[in-house]
Amino acid sequence: MSGAALYLSDIGYTLGEPTPVASVVGDREARDSLDILRQEGVESYRVSESTPAQLAAASCLPQTVAGLSGSAGVVYCTDSPPSMTLTDDMWDFLCQTGIPDRTAVVSGGSGCGNLGPGLAVARGLLMGGEHMDILLVTTDRVITGTRFVASGLTVLSDSAASCRVTAEPPERGFRVTGMASLVRAATRHHGQGLASARSLITAVGQLVPRAFRNSESSATESRHLLTGNYGVTPRSLLAMAAGLEPEAHYAPRVGELGHCFSADILISLADLDADGSLAHGDQLMLIASSPKAWSVVAVDYYRPA
């Protein structure tokens, strides 16, 4: 990434109903992994009957939607099977949010790491000059298959998150100073084996210097590492691959939330902004990842006095 910074603000999110992992039914993989999940700190997950489009609409803060400029665009990120087509789902979201006439695009291709390509698409739309701001949403729900994620030692939660992306600074938010992505679609291994760990370590090791090359501080000076809500073992591995201490990962709500697909990082950013622990200029490292795709994003907290 080069050129002007991006700013993320007005982050909102919505979650399904909390469900203890111990009560999981009809999902043999998750049920057979209960001991592992407890060891990894995952105690519950979120379940919703809403569609991904409905979840996405519920995640948007009313003031964010009302404050969108007349030229605002929309980036709709999802990895969930559509009710008809992804385009139909995106149009459904636009209508439910009350912005049916906005230019919108669907973004994906990185699974639970969809925040990375979503930001890249948002940046491209802003650089095109036709949009002053972008409403970025990421939404997913388990419709078929298991909720257990072997590569992340966690369980999937139905959820969505959204934010406003601009090239101009907001009153408060997060400044994206760099990002880099990598896809290895031919990767054939899964789970937490040595081959999977090698792929992760290699990818993150290549991406961190690229993402932080324009940052005022080195990557190792990042106050927190934000990743998907994986178990403690995968999060520690991501931290070490990034050159940080194993305990650098910030994920205090993993136990109650489970893994909210690609919404995890935006949820953590919203929580950090709300709890008041960050100071203006504090640097964060974001790693949005799936078993075959990784994005590293360099972020500073923006809240000038």
pLDDT in tens, 90-133: 999 999 999 999 999 999 989 999 999 999 999 999 999 899 99
The band of 222, judged by pLDDT with boundaries at 50, 70 and 90, is very high
Residues with Cβ < 8 Å from 27, sequence gap 6 or more? 146, 147, 148
Identify the helix (H) or strand (E) that includes residue 177.
strand 173-183
For residue 36, count other CB atoms closer than 10 A to its CB. Answer: 16
**pLDDT at residue 273, rounded to an integer:** 96
Pairing relationship of beta strands 73-77 and 44-47 according to DSSP bridges: unpaired
Residues with Cβ < 8 Å from 212, sequence gap 6 or more? 177, 178, 218, 219, 285, 296, 298
The band of 193, judged by pLDDT with boundaries at 50, 70 and 90, is low
Which residue is it, tokens 């990598």? 182
Pairing relationship of beta strands 224-226 and 283-290 according to DSSP bridges: parallel
Report d(CA 44, CA 159) in Å as an integer. 14
Q: Provide the β-strand partners of residue 133.
A: 166
Per CATH, the number for 173-302 is: 3.40.47.10
For residue 38, which of 50, 24, 53 has the smallest C-alpha distance? 24
- For residue 191, pLDDT over 70 is answered with no
Phi, psi (deg, nearest 5) at residue 147 = -90, -15
Domain boundaries in the chain? 6-166, 173-302
Q: pLDDT tens digit string along 253-272? A: 999 999 999 999 999 999 99
**pLDDT at residue 190, rounded to an integer:** 60
Q: pLDDT tens digit string along 148-190? A: 999 899 999 999 999 999 999 999 999 999 999 999 888 776 6
Phi, psi (deg, nearest 5) at residue 266 = -65, -40
Q: pLDDT tens digit string along 203-213? A: 999 999 999 99
Range list of H helices, the chain: 28-32, 34-39, 52-59, 62-66, 86-97, 115-127, 194-211, 232-241, 254-257, 264-275
pLDDT above 90 coverage of the chain, percent: 84
pTM metric for this prediction: 0.95
The band of 1, judged by pLDDT with boundaries at 50, 70 and 90, is very low
Tell me if 6-166 shares its fold with 173-302.
yes
Number of DSSP helices (H) and strands (E) in the chain, helices first: 10, 13
- For residue 23, pLDDT over 60 is answered with yes
Phi, psi (deg, nearest 5) at residue 213 = -65, -25
Dig out the tokens for 11 from the structure.
């982050």
Q: Which CATH number fits domain 6-166: 3.40.50.9100, 3.30.565.10, 3.40.1160.10, 3.40.47.10?
A: 3.40.47.10
Dig out the tokens for 99 from the structure.
């912005």
Q: What one-letter code names the amino acid at 113? A: G
For residue 302, which of 164, 118, 115, 162 has the smallest C-alpha distance? 164
